[in-house]
Amino acid sequence: MKRVISVKNLYKLYRVGDSVVHALDGVSFDIFEGEFCAIVGTSGSGKSTLLNMLAGLEKPTRGEVVVAGRHIEKMNEDELVKFRRENVGFIFQSFHLIGTMNALENVAMPLMFKGEPLKSRMKKAEQMLALVDLKKHRKHLPNQMSGGQQQRVGVARALVADPKIIFADEPTGNLDSHTSEDVMHLMQRIVREQKRTLVMVTHDNHLAGYADRVFHISDGKIIRVEENRPAAGEYRKKEAGPEESGKKNEGGDRHEAD
Ligand SMILES: Nc1ncnc2c1ncn2[C@@H]1O[C@H](COP(=O)(O)OP(=O)(O)OP(=O)(O)O)[C@@H](O)[C@H]1O
Ligand SMILES: [Mg+2]
């Protein structure tokens, strides 16, 4: 399996007045192509700090972050901007849609930054909206859509530029539980069908159960890694069966029993 993200001995210290906060305290792990990984932990455990390091939004105090074969901790701001544009899609808790643009235009946005011609931008955005089942809402402005629909636009926008990796920080944090499940099913299906790598941060153990692997973080340390999906070979066989995609992994609730 191809390694897409590799983190080694990662530390992030914040100095606040006289004290030092160990937001990340020696974190190491690998994430492989096509995996859906969740980082789960309570408030203040270091989830967003970790995701920010993986996306190159913040520099680590110490340690390595290799994403798509590149040491991003060594990149300067210009290199990082280019790297993110070419390799990474983001899904945000508060959707971050542009209020004056309709669904289609919002989805097409990342392609504008890539300098793609209008016609091909619109064509790709149409395809992505179809993928998230929002074809009929293409002309709707964000305030003319439900929260779940807006986040599906957010998912489509994260995918439109064909990134290898998608980062999501509490993507369902602003949605009710039923709508959250819908969005999780959608993300799970897309990762599987399109062989993307998705890293999602959440404080919710149940939602983390949708992921193939769950990294439990506490006080800046990964304290446990939970496997929710059979080994790759077995998974391929299982995947061939009907109904498999879009269905919640049965192993997802295992942790609740222990
Ligand atoms: N810029 C900063 N300066 C100082 N301390 C910070 C800073 N950013 C984060 N921290 C501290 O680092 C720790 C980890 O914060 P982080 O935002 O990663 O937590 P989180 O797991 O994402 O929490 P939440 O679920 O509330 O979003 C916390 O103790 C927080 O107070
Ligand atoms: Mg956070």
What torsion, rounded to 10 degrees, do the Cα atoms 85, 204, 229, 133 define? -60
Task: Classify residue 225: in a domain, yes or no.
Answer: yes
Query: Which residues are CB-contacts of 258 (< 8 A; sequence separation ≥ 6)?
Result: none
Q: Is residue 14 part of a domain?
A: no
Query: Is residue 255 situated within a structural domain?
Result: no
Give me ligand 2 centre to Cα 128, in Å: 28
In a domain, 73, yes or no: no
Three-state DSSP at 23 gives: strand
DSSP E strands: which ranges in the chain? 3-16, 19-32, 36-40, 62-67, 70-71, 88-91, 165-169, 197-202, 213-218, 221-227
| Full domain range(s) for residue 48 | 33-59+85-248
Domain count, the chain: 1
Quick: pLDDT tens for 59-101.
999 999 999 999 999 999 999 999 999 999 999 999 999 999 9
Q: Does the pLDDT of residue 134 top 70, yes or no?
A: yes
Residue 76 domain flag:
no
Q: What is the CATH number of the domain that holds 168?
A: 3.40.50.300
| Residues 167-225 pLDDT 10s | 999 999 999 999 999 999 999 999 999 899 999 999 999 999 999 999 999 999 999 99
Query: Ligand 1 center to residue 186 CA distance, Å?
Result: 29
Is 46 inside a domain boundary?
yes
Q: Is the CB of 110 under 6 A from ligand 1?
A: no
Q: Whose CA is nearest to atom 25 of ligand 1?
A: 43
Q: Does residue 20 lie within any of the structural domains?
A: no
Name the nearest CA neighbour of 49 among 194, 205, 181, 221.
221
b/e sequence 35-63, b meaning 16+ C-beta within 10 Å: bbbbbbbeeebbbbbbbbbbbbebebbeb
- Residue 74's pLDDT is what? 96
Collapsing DSSP to helix, strand or coil, 146 comes out as: coil
Q: Could you say which DSSP state residue 34 is in?
A: T
Beta strand pairing call for 36-40 and 70-71: unpaired
Q: How far is residue 45's CA from residue 218's CA, in Å, rounded to a whole number?
A: 5
